[in-house]
């Protein structure tokens, strides 16, 4: 069992940094099913992008709660992660701990949970900010 530092993303919860078991069994337990590995960021343009998002392969089919939006380089929402996910570093064919720079960058990017709603044919995302009582 190899432990790696990752960013855990859960629906409607703030992101958190946590050590996780990077074995197949550990990752399946984390996401609650078969894993899917997403590489949403172009490595060649920016070395900081050498990360993957691990999520539940059947999250949308199983109607798991929507979690975080993924945006293309123009800022348009193109996909949504469903269920619990983890942002991890990649090294060749394996997963590794996030570097300090990756941890800082991706934590700030995914820290605030998102809510979602349909506006006509488009799915829109919005930050779920805490309610401050007077």
Question: Scanning the structure block, which residue is given the tokens 């432990």?
Answer: 3
The predicted structure's pLDDT at residue 3: 96
**What is the rounded CA–CA span in Å between residue 43 and residue 50?**
5
pLDDT for res 134: 76
- Report whether 15 contacts 7 (CB < 8 A): yes
* Nearest to 42, CA basis, from 71, 68, 62: 71
In the numeric block, the tokens 């343009």 are attached to: 45
Model pLDDT, residue 6: 98
Mean pLDDT of successive 10-residue segments in the chain (134 residues)? 94 97 96 95 73 96 96 89 97 90 95 95 91 76
Neighbouring CB atoms inside 10 A of 46's CB total 10
pLDDT for residue 75? 85
Predicted confidence at residue 45, as pLDDT, reads: 65
DSSP H or E segment with residue 35:
strand 35-38
DSSP 8-state secondary structure symbol assigned to residue 133: P
- Cβ contacts of 59 within 8 Å, gap of 6 or more: 31, 33, 36, 81, 82, 83
Backbone phi and psi for residue 25, each to the nearest 5 degrees, phi listed first: -65, -40
In the chain the first and final C-alpha atoms are separated, in Å, by 48
pTM: 0.91
């Amino acid at each position: 069992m190899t432990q790696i530092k990752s960013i855990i993303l859960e629906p409607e919860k703030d992101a958190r940094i946590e050590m996780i078991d990077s074995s197949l069994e550990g990752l399946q337990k984390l996401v609650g099913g078969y894993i899917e590995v997403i590489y949403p960021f172009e490595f060649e343009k920016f070395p900081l992008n050498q990360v993957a998002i691990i999520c539940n392969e059947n999250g949308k089919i199983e109607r798991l709660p929507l979690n975080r939006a993924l945006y293309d380089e123009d800022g348009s929402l193109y996909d949504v992660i469903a269920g619990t996910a983890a942002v991890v570093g990649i090294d060749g064919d394996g997963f590794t701990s996030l570097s300090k720079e990756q941890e800082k960058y991706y934590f700030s990017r995914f820290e605030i949970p998102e809510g979602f709603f349909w506006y006509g044919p488009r799915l829109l995302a919005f930050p779920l900010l805490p309610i401050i009582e007077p």
